[in-house]
Amino acid sequence: MTQVKPKTFSIAVIPGDGIGREVVPAAISVLQRLGEKFGIGFDFLQLDWGSDYYFQHGSMMPADGLDGLRSSDAILLGAIGHPKIQDNITLNGLLLPIRRVFDQFVNVRPAILFPGVESPLAHVKPGGIDMVVVRENTEGEYAQVGGFVHHFDPKEVAVQTSVFTRPGVERVIRFAFELAVKRNGKKRVASITKSNAQAFGMVLWDRVFEEVKSQFPQIETESLLVDAATIHMLKRPESFDVVVASNLFGDILSDLSAAITGSIGLAPSANLDPLRRAPSMFEPVHGSAPDIAGQGKANPLATFFSAAMMLEHLGAGDAAQALDGAVRNLLREKKVRTPDLGGISSTQDITDAIVAAIVHG
């Protein structure tokens, strides 16, 4: 009998900084177990890029680093950031170039209040929040257009320009509507802007949103100013399904959505090129958390959820569902949980529990 050769995926792995070095190895061990169970091979390319690389070489990654990523099927990132390096250096030296060069123009951040997890919002029960923030990921407020005049002088001037292009706005809004069609949700899309104060880029966004929504009559919509959106997300979070926003507003609202669903330690994300011309990147939202790094307290579940999103993107749906289900069951049982969820379990405890669930599930 002919034996079918397992599908092998090439995964570029960037643990990065802080707790990234704890949660990414945990995710790799889980992926390896999934691979054994579902007949999937993984070729992990370990990259030591990040703040330590910066201290040694003066850059966050090699000058030709992005060229080496192109042949990967996906990128798994842990966290970037160090208290001794300004965030604009770490982000613009590694994370943002990957998003831009590979045109990962959609950032997808699900926010679900799982059974077994309490929201800080007393009126919301488990299952009451199930939304996804779709964030424009390559232009907008993070386009890095601008500069300084009279640098470090008392008369110093800083100019920061947001860039909104019609193609860039339209493609992310269209993605949000298409996602709402596919989801087993409320079939709603909320657009978030600040067009009362930003009368060019945000007005373009609003106009394109109106044009695109006319092509999806089955989808209910609303347009909110970002300040109002923060209030509504706290008062009626259960009403949101798909939220689409610019780079800055999507960044802020996705952190808020993570907070109201119990812990940023549960928040995954995907930086997608939906056209699949280049590898997409998957990462937890929580950052490097230097205050708990190296203590074994980091919650790896956001990274596990991110890994499940990666598997789904790669077409390994059965493995993705198994991992997603194992994490949900662990949360529901409330037996093993890290300090951010009110428990005393370690990163390794959580990893061991998920591995056991995969092996025996």
pLDDT digits (tens, 9 = 90+) for 37-69: 999 999 999 999 999 999 999 999 999 999 999
Measured between its terminal Cα atoms, the distance across the chain in Å is 28
125 is known as an active-site residue: no
Q: Which of 43, 67, 87, 227 is catalytic?
A: 227
CATH number of the CATH domain containing 50: 3.40.718.10
Closest CA to 6 of 46, 45, 25, 34: 34
Residues 211 and 297 in one domain: no
324 forms beta bridges with none
- Domain of residue 230 covers 106-272
Backbone angles phi, psi at 108, to 5 degrees: -110, 120
Q: What's the pLDDT score for residue 98?
A: 97
291 is known as an active-site residue: no
Residues 146 and 236 in one domain: yes
Residues 131 and 92 in one domain: no
Q: Which of 251, 273, 324, 340 is catalytic?
A: 251
Residues 126 and 264 in one domain: yes
The domain boundary residue, chosen from 272, 305, 326: 272
Q: What's the pLDDT score for residue 2?
A: 40
Residues 264 and 116 in one domain: yes
Residues 6 and 129 in one domain: no
Q: Which of 194, 213, 273, 340 is catalytic?
A: 194
Q: How far apart are CA 330 and CA 327, in angstroms?
A: 5
How does strand 242-245 pair with strand 188-193?
parallel
Q: How many domains does the chain have?
A: 2
pLDDT digits (tens, 9 = 90+) for 129-165: 999 999 999 999 999 899 999 999 999 999 999 999 9
255 is known as an active-site residue: yes
Give mean pLDDT in consecutive 10-residue pieces for the chain, a chain of 361 residues. 66 98 98 97 97 97 95 97 95 95 98 96 93 97 94 95 97 98 94 96 98 98 98 97 98 96 96 97 96 96 98 97 97 96 97 96 75
Residues 317 and 233 in one domain: no
Residues 170 and 291 in one domain: no
Residues 135 and 55 in one domain: no
Residues 92 and 113 in one domain: no
The domain boundary residue, chosen from 227, 243, 272: 272
The domain boundary residue, chosen from 272, 287, 309: 272
Residues 72 and 199 in one domain: no
Q: What's the pLDDT score for residue 185?
A: 80
Q: What's the pLDDT score for residue 3?
A: 42
Q: Which of 17, 142, 213, 324 is catalytic?
A: 142
Residues 226 and 249 in one domain: yes
Which residues lie below 8 Å from residue 36, measured CB to CB, with a gap of 6+?
Answer: none
Q: What's the pLDDT score for residue 245?
A: 98
Query: Rounded to two decimals, what is the model's pTM?
Result: 0.95
Q: How far apart are CA 63 and CA 52, in angstroms?
A: 16
